[in-house]
Structure 1
């Protein structure tokens, strides 16, 4: 009887483990240009300057059955900023603002994910920008996951937040330019 009970427990445990979905690891697909870190800032209160950071890397883990266990880490090169105007880009990169020679990297490492809806979550993490580390919350949307035409698997997300530049020791160019909107689109390729 003891043998049958132990065998049943072992089989039940194996079936339970097999039925559990494990978080998968993904690499952000910047090589295929399927990931963007875009920004927007007010220009004198009359319009907005839009730009992007072209060079960044990152990974995330994702389990649709348990989104709270997800994690993300991104490493961005601040000198890769682009706003479609070379002189402005040079000024933004200078000591007046981002000081990219002194602070060449910005990083984000998640600390928690809180589900807010069927496909939405608040992703909290530590953002290091301009030499200052602060907690930041991104409003994230899960776009979907599945196979791609090249035999791989992918998952994609969008996330937005607004940064107060003063929190990171950056003085905006004017009274209407003290906040920076980030709009991030990430598509990841599942590790094999």
Structure 2
């Protein structure tokens, strides 16, 4: 009788969708996560690029999203704007100076939960040796079991910052003072 009651209780918990906090590693091996950037080119068009190499992890409990945390490290040498000469310039001293600063990072400090799976992720962003507060507008994309027996959780997000705030003062014109970062993060439960 006790076994039946405990099994029935476990089944009720599974059916109700109650979950606990879990730790995830960002799935960069299978290209299920992306860090993109865009900036205006002379105010005429958008220049898009990405960072091909990064790593990170996060903790998430759907019952307590305000307790979530995330940490990401970005290999700045992996910048890719689909144009070799431009990439060389962006990686140089005028912009990221990747030889001196090969890594950028973001570490969350506080999660402000909004409505409908949206949140503001407050944290510290380090780029080119400068650390400043940064807020990411995040959205829960979804989560659950994958076809390989694992569990996954996905989020997207955007943020903007002024280049000069991180020591990048190269004159790109008045329309190109701010860069937008676009994130698509899928994590695999550890």
Aligned CA-pair RMSD: 1.3
Shift of 1:23: 1.2
Per the normalisation by structure 1, the TM-score is 0.88
Q: Tell me what 1:146 maps to.
A: 144
Separation in structure 2 between the aligned mates of residue 130 and residue 110 of structure 1, nearest angstrom: 18
Hey, what does 2:53 align to over in structure 1? 55
| CA displacement at 1:174 relative to structure 2 | 2.3
The equivalent residue for 1:99 is: 97
Q: In the alignment, is the contact (CA less than 8 A) between 2:20 and 2:62 conserved in 1?
A: no
How far apart in 1 are the matches of 2:175 and 2:57?
A: 34
| 2:111 alignment counterpart | 113
- Which residues of structure 1 form unaligned runs of 5+? 1-14
1:76-91 map, 5 Å? 76-91=74-89
Aligned 1:1-192 pairs, distance under 5 A: 21-172=19-170, 173-191=172-190
> Quick one: distance in 2 between partners of 1:178 and 1:163?
9
Distance in 1 between the 2:173 and 2:98 partners?
20
Q: CA deviation at 1:175?
A: 2.1
Structure 2 unaligned segments of length 5 or more: list them.
1-8
Deviations 1:143-189 (A, max 9, x none): 11000011100000001000111111112422221100000000000
**1:171 counterpart SS class:** coil
Task: Give distance in 2, aligned partners of 1:22 and 1:128.
Answer: 31
Secondary structure of the structure 1 residue equivalent to 2:98:
coil
Distance in 2 separating the partners of 1:96 and 1:138: 26
Query: How many residue pairs align between the two structures?
Result: 174
Q: Show structure 1 runs of 4+ deviating over 4 A.
A: none
Q: TM-score, normalised to structure 2's length?
A: 0.89
Residue 61 of structure 1 and its aligned partner are, at CA, apart by 0.3
